[in-house]
Structure 1
Amino acid sequence: MAEIEIGIGKSGRRAYGLDEVAIVPSRRTRDPEDVDLGWELDAYRFEIPVLGTPCDSVTSPGTAVALGELGAAGVLHLEGLWTRHEDAEERLAELADLPEGDEAARRLQDLHGAPVVPELVAERVAEIRKAGVTCAVAVSPQRTEALVEHVLRAEPDLLMICGTVVSAEHVSRSVDPLNLKSFIRRFELPVIVGGCTSYQAALHLMRTGAAGVLVGAGSGTAGTTANVLGIGVPSATAIVDARAAEAPGRGWHWGMPAVHPTLPGGRRVRTEPVGTLAEVLFGPAHEAGGERNLMGALRQAMALSGYATVKELRKAELVVVTPPCPAVD
């Protein structure tokens, strides 16, 4: 891709967000009922391409189970409120009642200052496994080695090592950095790593032996990474954030970077419910805004483009629509 001159001696590539690209229908179409939305990660199959983000406000043990029963995968963050506080639901209710502003940010930091309780790690994972759905959990790179013993004892199905940006070559003078390649090879547990925003970074993460790579940084609804750090790449990637009408955040959303004790990389934002989790994913939709029946919309788009599987959809032709077209916004 041709680079654009930014100033003397500096140039960069043009990046596109999701609302700036659209899929071009192909010469072949399909019946929507013949489209397969399923995908596989290591030995696990999921019926729809949806991951519940590992944020306290979105994925609780209960919503992880609900997502699993609907064919998706909910990812529980093991450094969130659910593993620090026995009464996590009460703490979340307290946060929901706080007004917007600095008080909520400070309380988020205070609540995440409590230590992770190993017994709660085991209890939360057991709650998800008991429902018979695939259990996925997340940890940060900084705490992976410290928590791995408790994670393995709890026996989740998938482990996600995630942060704002995760690389295969972290350099530090103060601590021994996590060696992703050796860590992943030590265990049979499939590991997903990320986020990353470039070809080279993704390639290096893949070479660690990871079962999956997370793509994206700085573009979330509640994220302020781009504003605070000047880091971020628009994500022209099929990422869906499905949340229930009564998600754990009770109408509020925040990412894990928002709880950093000295440099929060996110904010608490209001997210009005649009329907139940089942309605968001499968409908029925009674309005034309596209906020419900996400999987029905994906199935229809794949059918009109002639692709039978999610893997085949990667071949779809794209066009750039700048400024964003209301029809595809």
Structure 2
Amino acid sequence: MVVVQSTVTTARHMSRSYRGLIFSEMVSSLKVPVVVGNCVTYSVAQELMETGIDGILVGVGPGAACTTREVVGVGVPQVTATLECAAAREDYFRRTGRYVSVITDGGIRTGGDFCKAIASGADGVMLGTPFAQAEEAPGHGYNWGMANPHPELPRGTRIKVGTKGTLQQILYGPTSKTDGTQNLIGALRVAMGMCGAYTVKDLHKAEMVVAPSIKTEGKYFQMSD
């Protein structure tokens, strides 16, 4: 699999200085799945899917260590962004017969976050903080934003997320914690059972009530000094 990721990705890159990466050419030249991101809107998701990619990353600014929303004022609440891109996927699939996976990237800290992302239409999630909290993680309880080392405009910070347990405990349990930071897979199974969903596609059909998010969405660790 090849993953092409930037803060915001577009299928219509224009530059006077160099020729940007053309996704359609890249996809046709490779024999492995190509995933690109990130985006947060229906229209951009549709444009990217038209290039022939296999998966799309969703999210601008919700990550625990990301400061994009503070630095440039751009971002969309993660559930809203996932719903938008999932709607684009469904319409694209009905029109072409090609299914493009939607991957929610950022803001997934607990089992509840994980379950809401899937219910919003995601086929999978990109995890940062949960992995950084594993005993096996090389950061020893710290996490860095993806754009933190940008030479001109850093859009990330170093945060202390602590160590919650082994990777096995975080993903599969067992756990005695009640804050949802361990046994993420178990949380998804229970949520699916509570919603009457036998498969992930069934959970996509769950009824949802979407409320406006607070400004600090996903920024728990930036506030806990």
Q: Which residue of 2 aligns with 1:283?
A: 173
Instruction: Report if the CA contact (8 A) 2:35-2:57 is conserved.
Output: yes
Q: Which residue of 2 aligns with 1:235?
A: 78
1:149-160 equivalent positions in 2, closer than 5 A: 158-160=1-3
Structure having greater relative contact order (Cα 8 Å, sep ≥ 6) = 1
Q: Which residue of 2 aligns with 1:190?
A: 33
Q: Which residue of 2 aligns with 1:274?
A: 164
Is 1:170 the equivalent of 2:60? Answer: no
Where in structure 2 are there 5+ consecutive unaligned residues?
83-116, 118-124, 215-225
**Of the two, which has the highest radius of gyration?**
1
**C-alpha distance in 1 between matches for 2:171 and 2:203:** 19
Instruction: Report if the CA contact (8 A) 1:246-1:273 is conserved.
Output: no
1:310-329 equivalent positions in 2, closer than 5 A: 310-321=200-211
Runs of 4+ in structure 1 deviating by more than 4 angstroms, as ranges, are: 321-324
Q: Which residue of 2 aligns with 1:144?
A: none
Cα–Cα, structure 1 residues 221 and 258, in superposed 2: closer, same or farther, change >3 Å? same
- The TM-score, its normalising length taken from structure 2, stands at 0.70
- The TM-score, its normalising length taken from structure 1, stands at 0.49
Q: Which residue of 2 aligns with 1:212?
A: 55
Counterpart of 2:60, as a letter, is A
1:240 shift after superposition: 5.7
SS in 2 for 1:217: coil
Where in structure 1 are there 5+ consecutive unaligned residues?
1-157, 325-329
Q: How large is the RMSD of aligned CA atoms in angstroms?
A: 1.8
Counterpart of 1:162, as a letter, is Q
Cα–Cα, structure 1 residues 278 and 169, in superposed 2: closer, same or farther, change >3 Å? same
Instruction: Report if the CA contact (8 A) 2:77-2:213 is conserved.
Output: no
Instruction: Report if the CA contact (8 A) 1:192-1:211 is conserved.
Output: yes
Instruction: Report if the CA contact (8 A) 2:172-2:186 is conserved.
Output: yes
Aligned residues: 168
Q: Which residue of 1 aligns with 2:87?
A: none
**C-alpha distance in 2 between matches for 1:161 and 1:181:** 13
Q: Which residue of 2 aligns with 1:256?
A: 146
**C-alpha distance in 1 between matches for 2:137 and 2:212:** 34
1:323 shift after superposition: 7.3
Is 1:293 the equivalent of 2:183? Answer: yes
1:160 shift after superposition: 0.3
Give deviations 1:20-56, integer Å, cap 9, x for gaps.
Answer: xxxxxxxxxxxxxxxxxxxxxxxxxxxxxxxxxxxxx
Q: Which residue of 1 aligns with 2:95?
A: none
1:74-153 equivalent positions in 2, closer than 5 A: none
